[in-house]
Amino acid sequence: MQKLSSVVFRIEALERVAIFGVGLIGGSFALALREAGFQGRILGVDTPETARRACDLGVIDEALAPQPAAQLADLVYLALPISGILEILPQLDRWVQADALITDAGSTKDAIVRRARESVARCQFLGGHPLAGRELRGVEAADPVLFRGRRYVLTPRTRAELDHPRAREFVGWIEKIGALPVILDAAEHDRIVAFTSHLPQLASSALASLLEGRTEAQSHVFGPALVDSTRLALSSFDIWGDILETNRGEIGAALETYIRTLQAFARVLELDPEGLREHFRKAAKFAGGLRDTT
């Protein structure tokens, strides 16, 4: 059995990867694959301008249109905005090889996994979300070590899906690029990131949007803390609109929890600020623990 499976593996080895969306994530995945020893061909699908830059920078080997890229690829890697992923999945199904794997890097998973279930029938689909990012965007910011040490969530419908040879190979590459695979149910993923990613974004955007135009903020009287606190507020709605749209229920619940916590803070502050000591202790414990695990 062992021998047979290794023969099968060799026959199936990835030869062509098609990356749809050669921006920060797609470009970094291409560079990371190459650095991890991938010997095959990396095809890129993007606007003519971005595709040319990606070729010039050596991020991809060749720029192609969606259809030929999908037809040639053993692995289709969708690093598009969520709405782009939702849109292209039904088309991809008409073009892909039967033994190909389609995966994505979208920041929410439930809507994408549902769409894939409805529309991808001719090959396997495996949802993914690398918990990596930078303030910079675009292929110029692509970085072969972007995924190193980062969690990479995978959302198979069943655990057995991970045993398909193509899926096993893909998970192997995730490990080779230094990321840490985490298996989660898609809905559970969305509930988690509502708290750990989407809520921090809205907390920062709300802070920055309320300060915009206020006289207090025009005084230039602020320290490094405000610069830190508004870093996420620089993020583009072009990315966040899709995330908010496809995870609004969970994000709404997380926002409610945050508002209730702030209301409790306000009440304690009014009664006796010393009562906030325990909240600060819990907060510092969490923030410290986070740093120990990263």
Tell me the closest approach of the beta carbon of residue 49 to a second copy, in angstroms.
Answer: 23
For residue 207, state whether it binds a second copy (rule: CB under 8 A): yes
For residue 83, state whether it binds a second copy (rule: CB under 8 A): no
Tell me the closest approach of the beta carbon of residue 242 to a second copy, in angstroms.
Answer: 9
Enter the DSSP assignment of 240: H
For residue 222, state whether it binds a second copy (rule: CB under 8 A): yes
For residue 67, state whether it binds a second copy (rule: CB under 8 A): no
- CA distance readout (Å), 92 to 72, 86, 98, 116, 169: 12, 11, 11, 10, 21
For residue 131, state whether it binds a second copy (rule: CB under 8 A): yes
| Cα–Cα distance, 23 to 28 (Å, whole number) | 8
- CA distance readout (Å), 259 to 192, 266, 275: 18, 10, 18
Tell me the closest approach of the beta carbon of residue 24 to a second copy, in angstroms.
Answer: 12
Strand, helix or coil at 66?
A: helix
For residue 251, state whether it binds a second copy (rule: CB under 8 A): yes
For residue 192, state whether it binds a second copy (rule: CB under 8 A): yes
- Which residues does 227 contact at the CB level (< 8 Å), separation at least 6? none
Q: Which residues between 252 and 291 bind a second copy (CB under 8 A)?
A: 252, 255-259, 261-263, 265-266, 269-270, 273-274, 276-277, 279-288, 290-291
Tell me the closest approach of the beta carbon of residue 141 to a second copy, in angstroms.
Answer: 14
Radius of gyration (C-alpha) of the chain in whole angstroms: 22
Tell me the closest approach of the beta carbon of residue 273 to a second copy, in angstroms.
Answer: 4
When the beta carbons of 32 and 153 are compared against a second copy, the nearer one is 153
For residue 202, state whether it binds a second copy (rule: CB under 8 A): yes
When the beta carbons of 49 and 270 are compared against a second copy, the nearer one is 270
When the beta carbons of 59 and 184 are compared against a second copy, the nearer one is 184
Q: Which residues of 83-109 are buried (b: 16+ CB within 10 A; e: fewer)?
A: ebbbebbeebbebbeeebbbbbbbbbb
| Cα–Cα distance, 50 to 44 (Å, whole number) | 9
For residue 214, state whether it binds a second copy (rule: CB under 8 A): yes
For residue 9, state whether it binds a second copy (rule: CB under 8 A): no
| Cα–Cα distance, 175 to 169 (Å, whole number) | 10
Q: Which residues between 150 and 179 bind a second copy (CB under 8 A)?
A: 150-151, 153
When the beta carbons of 49 and 216 are compared against a second copy, the nearer one is 216
For residue 236, state whether it binds a second copy (rule: CB under 8 A): yes
Q: Which residues pair with 155 in a beta bridge?
A: 127
> Other CB atoms closer than 10 Å to residue 155's CB: what's the count?
24
